């Protein structure tokens, strides 16, 4: 499988181009029955929680789809912490305008909980905006609680 569904800061096409220069973005879609959340606060010396997704009937997560070249797959696994056990890869179905596409996602290998920093949440919301997420989705991201003051404060 070559499709990767990005849902956090990897929604930013420029970020993905830097990580995976041989892997074009091929579209956007939704992972139905899952929700974006945070995990890992206080683990491994992180300042705040990091993004992950969990199953949640009735919810959905906006994603960008990338056709990941094998040359880039190992690099992306490394960046996402798969070898260290921070994230694990799962296969999900992404709903697109052209139908469903199987893709892999990275899911935090631990329990849900914690809040992101304001800076990190801003990065995720900006990435979603750059990827073409609907305005209401981006606004909802920006309204989430954080463990630090907003970057504008």
Q: Is 66 annotated as a binding residue?
A: no
Question: What domains appear along the chain, each with residue ranges and CATH number?
Answer: 3-142 (3.10.490.10)
So what's the pLDDT on residue 45? 58
pLDDT at 126 over 50: yes
Residue 110 corresponds to which tokens in the numbers above?
């631990």
Catalytic status, residue 80: yes
pLDDT at 153 over 60: no
Contact 124, 108 (CB under 8 A): no
Contact 106, 36 (CB under 8 A): no
Q: Is 9 annotated as a binding residue?
A: yes
Write the pLDDT tens digit of every residue in 57-87: 999 999 999 999 999 999 999 999 999 888 9
E-state strands within the chain: 3-6, 25-39, 50-67, 87-96, 99-108
> Choosing from 32, 80, 129, 140, which is the catalytic residue?
80
So what's the pLDDT on residue 44? 62
The predicted model scores a pTM of 0.92
So what's the pLDDT on residue 144? 96
Q: Is 6 annotated as a binding residue?
A: yes
Q: Is 8 annotated as a binding residue?
A: yes
So what's the pLDDT on residue 48? 85
């Amino acid at each position: 499988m070559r499709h990767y569904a990005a849902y956090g800061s990897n929604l930013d096409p420029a970020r993905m181009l830097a990580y995976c220069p041989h892997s074009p973005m091929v579209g956007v879609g939704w992972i139905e029955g899952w929700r974006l959340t945070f995990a890992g606060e206080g683990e491994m010396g992180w300042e705040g929680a990091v993004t992950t997704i969990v199953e949640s009937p009735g919810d959905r997560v906006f994603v960008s789809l990338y056709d990941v070249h094998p040359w880039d797959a190992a690099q992306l696994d490394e960046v996402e912490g798969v070898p260290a056990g921070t994230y694990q890869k799962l296969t999900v179905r992404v709903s697109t305008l052209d139908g469903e596409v199987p893709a892999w996602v990275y899911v935090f290998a631990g329990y849900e909980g914690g809040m992101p920093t304001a800076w990190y949440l801003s990065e995720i919301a900006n990435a979603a905006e750059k990827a073409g997420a609907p305005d209401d989705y981006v606004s909802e991201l920006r309204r989430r609680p954080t463990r630090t003051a907003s970057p504008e404060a």
